[in-house]
Amino acid sequence: MLIYKILRRPEWDAFRAAGETAGAPIDLADGYIHFSTAAQVTETAAKWFAHESDLVLVAVRAEPLGPALKWEESRGGALFPHLYRSLRLSDVVWDKSLPLGVTGHIFPEGVI
């Protein structure tokens, strides 16, 4: 199963340069890296990144993250994937630009 992380371009660039990240400011504040499933990611983009256009969508395979990935109740009582360790570049399956269109973010084909 793929899970998704939305990063701002500077966050993605820093992640690529360092080879790992503890996440965005919200992740650092909460103590874990927030992810979304395919069913959750459009709402995440709309809620937290509504007017941001220079974003990167990062896909990560959930299973290899092992016990560091916990499914916890969040928005609307849904279970969301939270990573309790740094995200490594080697964890990333793919990354794609997430542009902002007239009616919201334009997700890569096959994600939603």
Query: Is 110 a member of any domain?
Result: no
Q: Could you report the per-residue pLDDT of 70-82, keeping only the tens digit for each?
A: 999 987 889 999 9
Within 13 Å of residue 19, how many CA atoms lie on the same side as its CB?
A: 0
Element (H, E) at 101: strand 100-101
Q: What confidence tens digit (pLDDT) does each residue in 2-23 have?
A: 999 999 999 999 999 999 999 9
Number of folded domains that form the chain: 1
How far, in Å, CA of 52 to CA of 48, rounded?
9
Residue 112: pLDDT above 80?
A: no
- Work out the angle at residue 90's Cα, subtended by the Cα atoms of residues 84 and 96, and round it to the nearest 5 degrees: 95
The pLDDT of residue 111 is 85
- Computed over every residue of the chain, the mean pLDDT equals 95
- Residue 110's pLDDT band (cuts 50, 70, 90): confident
Encode 59-83 in three state secondary structure. EEECHHHHHHEEEEECHHHCEEEEE
Residue 78 inside a domain? The answer is yes
In a domain, 80, yes or no: yes
Domain annotation covers residue 106:
no
Domain membership flag for residue 9: yes
Domain enclosing residue 73, as ranges: 2-100
